[in-house]
Chains A and B, each alone.
Chain A
Amino acid sequence: MRVSTRASRTNKTEQFILASMGFFWCFLMWFASAAFSPSIAEDYGLSIAQLGILASSAIWLAPVGRIVAGWAADRIGAPNTFAIILVFTGLFSIGSAFASSYNVLFIMRVVVAMAGVSFVVGIQHVAQWFEDKEIGLAEGLFAGTGNVGAGMGALLLPRIYGTNYSDAFLHLGLVALLIGAVYYWRGVAAKTEQIARRAAAVATPRDSLFVWTRYCAIALMLAYAMAFGLEIGMNAWLPGYYAKGFSEEIKRLGFTGAVSVQVAAGTFAAVESFNASLWRPFSGYMSDIWQRKGWMPFPIISKHLPYSPRIHWLAMALVLITIMMVLLTVAGLLGYLHMSVLVLAFFGIAIAFGTGGTFAIVPLMFRDRPGAAAGFIGGFSTGGGIIYPLVYGFLPNIHMGYAFVALSMFIPIILFYFWTMRYERHPEEHGMGSKEHWLGTAA
């Protein structure tokens, strides 16, 4: 059925709900292994190192998977791509419920973790339906709702299923198949036939390379690595940081013994995760407000693009993230636990400003290639989640890592961001190689 015929039978709210519901469930499946990792470890007698590998395996396929998914969303439409992801990962989730050995279970859960690539598909789907003025809030709410799936999984799955993770994986997979069918039935790729065709027409390897070599795409990818990459890196790092970096302070509060310290450290660390997820829609909303009010406080950055205020809003977020990183180090060196937790709250908010701010720009800057751009920016940036904890761990003082990363990595990224966003017309055309070089002359 043609997009134009199907589009007349739906509306943007239904498409938004489909995308958000699908992404929420994918996130739930993505982190379901983590929620049951103690039970899995006990059943199979896993070592701490094996547990670490199981935890990190959740993002192994994200960079490449997101790039492919973004391209597919442009090429065959987000509903088809989303349905394929839900059915594929749902079947493997069902299969993992019947795994006969840990190796089989591990491989199947790595495949299920591919559900996380659906982020870029949903971003593309929402972008094809919402108008410029509301794109920030729409993308922010979509992403924020999905991210809540991770927290909900950690909170509810062990309470509902106890240690019976096999039943959980089975039920999660069955519901994924159902959502996949509904998405395929009710989903429409774009608001108009013209928009859908435009995205499909340019979904080629040459077009993807064109996007990857644009300076502003690289700057947005690095900005997202400063925000989302940092968020997932900190999710893994912070519980251990508080347990070790503030061990004396936590003991003085009365939390003694491994379990008590783990719960206390986890509670402090959750401040960053909750704020980073839950403030994300607000960031999109703020991006919309800056756009409507025309706020552009920064020098150098363009002031004449149709979406210039959104670029300034993201610049503000990047500066705030850098400041908060330095303050985290200061709080740690002073040994003030309460100051560290308070800074961590603002740090989470700054991260949310960065994640929400980035994807309020991407669909507007790469209007005809939203999937390819979202795949590149959302994919490569997850590498930050691996790099930052490694850097923190290699420094002699556990508190120094934040300031070190802020000064040695984030300030150069911000300077690069300012430099690439200075063009007053078509910033997406500036990059390595000309537009003609990548796109040629014939379609």
Chain B
Amino acid sequence: MNRADVTPGSKDRAEEHALENEFGSDPTKEFGYKRAVAAVYLEIVIAVAVTIFSLYMALTGTGGFPGK
């Protein structure tokens, strides 16, 4: 077999996956995917909380040890 035939992105592979995308099951409707999206939003809430805490410190000099 020619090595070039198994190169990533070869025509067959691209078409195979284009078909998978078009006709495959929609993962976004799976329970696991929805839980994963919920985890993403939870992480964002934590990141925003840390940012607000740091901004509070930067603006007032209080709120964090060993500040005022």
Contacts and interface: CB of A to CB of B under 8 A. Distances in A.
Point out which of A292, A348, A349, A367 has the most chain B C-beta atoms below 10 A from its C-beta. A367
Contact of B54 (A13, A131, A267, A367): A267
Interface string A157-192: 000000000000000000000000000000000000
B54 A341 contact: yes
A367 B51 contact: no
A274 B65 contact: no
B67 A429 contact: no
Contacts of A428: 7-9
B68 to A, nearest CB: 4
B42 to A, nearest CB: 9
Interface stretch (A30-38, A313-321, A403-411, A434-442): A434-442
Contact of B61 (A137, A255, A435, A440): A255
A278 B28 contact: no
A254 B67 contact: yes
Contacts of B14: 306, 426
Contacts of A55: none
A342 interface: yes
Query: How big is chain B's contact interface, by range?
Result: 35 or more
Nearest to B47: A278
B12 to A, nearest CB: 11
Query: How big is chain A's contact interface, by range?
Result: 35 or more
A254 B8 contact: no
Interface string B1-45: 111101111100110011011001011100011001101100110
A141 B39 contact: yes
A275 B51 contact: yes
B4 A278 contact: no
Contacts of B60: 253
B8 A369 contact: yes
A310 to B, nearest CB: 12
Interface in A356-376: 364-369
A132 interface: yes
Contacts of A292: 28
Contacts of A348: 47
Interface in A85-104: none
B58 A253 contact: yes
A281 B17 contact: no
Nearest to A373: B8
Contact of A441 (B3, B10, B43, B54): B3
A278 B46 contact: yes
A426 B9 contact: yes
A107 interface: no
Contacts of A364: 17
Contacts of A134: 27-28, 33
A198 interface: yes
A413 interface: no
B43 A279 contact: yes
A253 B68 CA distance: 8
Given A253-B58, A253-B61, A274-B50, A365 B43 contact: no
A263 B55 contact: no
B8 A274 contact: no
Interface in A413-432: 426-429
A123 interface: no
15 contacts: A131-B27, A133-B26, A133-B28, A140-B40, A141-B36, A210-B7, A254-B67, A260-B67, A263-B65, A263-B66, A306-B17, A365-B9, A428-B9, A439-B7, A442-B3
Given A259-B66, A275-B51, 17 more contacts: A138-B36, A202-B6, A252-B61, A253-B61, A254-B67, A268-B54, A270-B54, A279-B43, A279-B47, A282-B40, A345-B55, A348-B47, A367-B8, A367-B9, A368-B7, A429-B7, A435-B7
Interface of B: 1-4, 6-10, 13-14, 17-18, 20-21, 24, 26-28, 32-33, 36-37, 39-40, 43-44, 46-47, 50-51, 53-55, 57-62, 64-68
